[in-house]
């Protein structure tokens, strides 16, 4: 298997995120430094309940964008854990076409 620079970056983010999850108060700050595409990819590597914890630490718009990008298995698991009011607030932050994408994958 060939390891790409992207794979290396995702593994680095994964390791950093695991370390941050062990600390109090740094998660939101750390997540602001990562692209939503990378957050979605790393969420797929985390064990329960870490993906939900990460999603709740994101702002509503970023969380909704991550949900759209998640693998279906992970998305189903995470969405089940999000209270409907919170999910509605996340989707409400998106432009109409992006909101439609979220509803299409749910």
Query: How much is the pLDDT for 10?
Result: 93
Whether residue 102 is predicted with pLDDT greater than 80 in this model: the reply is no
Query: Which residue reads 């209270």 in tokens?
Result: 83
Q: What per-residue confidence (pLDDT) applies to 36? A: 95
Task: Compute the average pLDDT of residues 53-73.
Answer: 89
In angstroms, rounded to a whole number, what is the distance separating the alpha carbons of residues 81 and 90? 14
Which of the pair, 78 or 40, is modelled with greater confidence?
40
Provide long-range contacts, Cβ within 8 A and 24+ apart, for 31-39. Answer: 31/57, 31/58, 31/62, 36/62, 36/65, 36/66, 36/69, 37/69, 38/9, 38/10, 38/13, 39/66
Q: Cβ distance 29 to 18 under 8 Å?
A: no
Given phi > 0 = left and psi -120 to 50 = alpha, else beta, which region is 35?
Answer: beta
Where would I find the beta strands (DSSP E) of 1-106? none
- Top-confidence range, 23-27, 36-40, 91-95: 36-40
Predicted confidence band of residue 30 (pLDDT cuts 50, 70, 90): very high
For residue 40, pLDDT beyond 90: yes
| The model's pTM | 0.81
Taking the C-alpha atoms of residue 39 and residue 66, their distance in angstroms, rounded to an integer, is: 7
Q: Average pLDDT of the chain? A: 86
Judge whether 41 and 17 are in contact, CB under 8 Å: no
Predicted pLDDT of residue 3: 56
In the predicted structure, residue 7 carries a pLDDT above the cut 80 = no
């Amino acid at each position: 298997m060939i390891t790409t620079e992207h794979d290396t970056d995702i593994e680095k983010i994964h390791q950093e995120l695991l370390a941050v999850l062990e600390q109090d108060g740094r998660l939101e700050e750390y997540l602001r430094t990562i692209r939503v595409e990378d957050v979605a990819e790393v969420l797929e590597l985390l064990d329960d309940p870490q993906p939900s914890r990460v999603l709740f630490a994101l702002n509503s718009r970023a969380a909704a964008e991550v949900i759209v990008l998640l693998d279906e298995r992970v998305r189903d698991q995470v969405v089940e854990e999000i209270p409907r009011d919170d999910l509605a607030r996340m989707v409400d932050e998106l432009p109409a076409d992006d909101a439609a994408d979220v509803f299409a994958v749910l």
